[in-house]
């Protein structure tokens, strides 16, 4: 069942991420200005599952990460900057981002400006992200299910399965569309 066009939220943004030696990332929305200002966080990769797709042009990586909001980037020096020109599509709990990225590293300070010392590298990314409702903690939910199963309790995982099924169906659709071209 395909979604009606009106159910898909679409937006175009440009963000600039500055990465610091202490692992912090500072993100500033450039276009359109969002009035939120700068967000500083530390992202930690918890796990990866790499899937080789020999019949496709592309392989897949499923990643699980956690993000911790920080008050500021600290006194650490900036090491790189990424300018992301992104088109995002959201349907239900699935977000698809198609992004052109310009990476500048290493960086040096000239007065109050950061200047790239190297040659910028341009890449393209397609990301399919499962976005959980506010307050939903996937890791806590998985641990809760595990404990209840170990105790022999009946476990209802329909909400978790629904989120995962939406993600898998979206990835399959992208791969099918890519293979036809």
The two beta strands, 60-69 and 121-130, are unpaired
Q: Which residues contact 127 (CB under 8 A, 6 or more apart)?
A: 95, 96, 97, 99
Query: Is 86 domain-assigned?
Result: yes
Q: Structural domain tally of the chain?
A: 1
Instruction: State the chain's mean pLDDT as an integer.
Output: 79
Q: What is the extent of the structural domain holding 20?
A: 5-132
CATH number at residue 109: 3.20.100.10
Mean pLDDT of 3-27: 81
Q: For 153-166, what is each residue's pLDDT tens digit?
A: 776 666 667 767 77
8 Å CB contact between 121 and 106: no
Q: Identify whether 121 is part of a domain.
A: yes
Residue 1: the pLDDT is 47
Q: Examine residue 83 and state whether it is found in any structural domain, yes or no.
A: yes
**What is the pLDDT at residue 154?**
72
| Radius of gyration from C-alpha coordinates of the chain | 19
Number of Cβ atoms within 10 Å of the Cβ of 94: 20
The pLDDT of 126-138, averaged and rounded, is 71
* 23 inside domain: yes
Q: What is the pLDDT of residues 70-106, one digit of tens each?
A: 887 677 788 899 999 999 888 877 888 999 999 998 8
Is 180 a member of any domain?
no
Which pLDDT score, from 0 to 100, does residue 6 have? 45
Question: Could you give the CA distance from residue 34 to residue 2 in angstroms, rounded to a whole number?
Answer: 31
Any idea what the Cα angle at residue 60 is, between residues 59 and 64, rounded to 5°? 155
Instruction: Band the pLDDT of 139: cuts 50, 70, 90.
Output: low
Q: Is the pTM of this model over 0.75?
A: no
- Scanning the chain, the segments in alpha helix (DSSP H) are 138-150, 158-180
Q: Is residue 173 part of a domain?
A: no
> Is 143 domain-assigned?
no
């Amino acid at each position: 069942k395909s979604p009606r066009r009106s159910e898909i939220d679409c937006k175009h943004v440009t963000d600039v991420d500055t990465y610091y030696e202490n692992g912090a990332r500072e993100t500033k929305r450039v276009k359109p200005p969002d009035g939120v200002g700068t967000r500083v966080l530390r992202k930690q990769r918890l796990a990866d599952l790499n899937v080789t797709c020999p019949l496709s042009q592309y392989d897949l990586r499923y990643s699980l990460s956690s993000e911790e909001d920080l008050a500021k980037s600290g006194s650490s020096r900036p090491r790189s900057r990424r300018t992301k020109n992104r088109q995002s599509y959201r349907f239900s709990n699935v977000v698809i981002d198609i992004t052109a990225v310009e990476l500048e590293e290493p960086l040096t300070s000239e007065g109050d400006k950061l200047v790239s010392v190297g040659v910028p590298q341009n890449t393209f990314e397609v990301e399919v992200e499962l976005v959980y409702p506010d307050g939903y903690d996937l890791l806590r939910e998985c641990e809760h299910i595990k404990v209840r199963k170990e105790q022999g309790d009946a476990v209802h995982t329909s909400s978790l399965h629904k989120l995962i099924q939406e993600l898998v169906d979206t990835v399959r659709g992208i791969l099918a569309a890519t293979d036809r071209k």
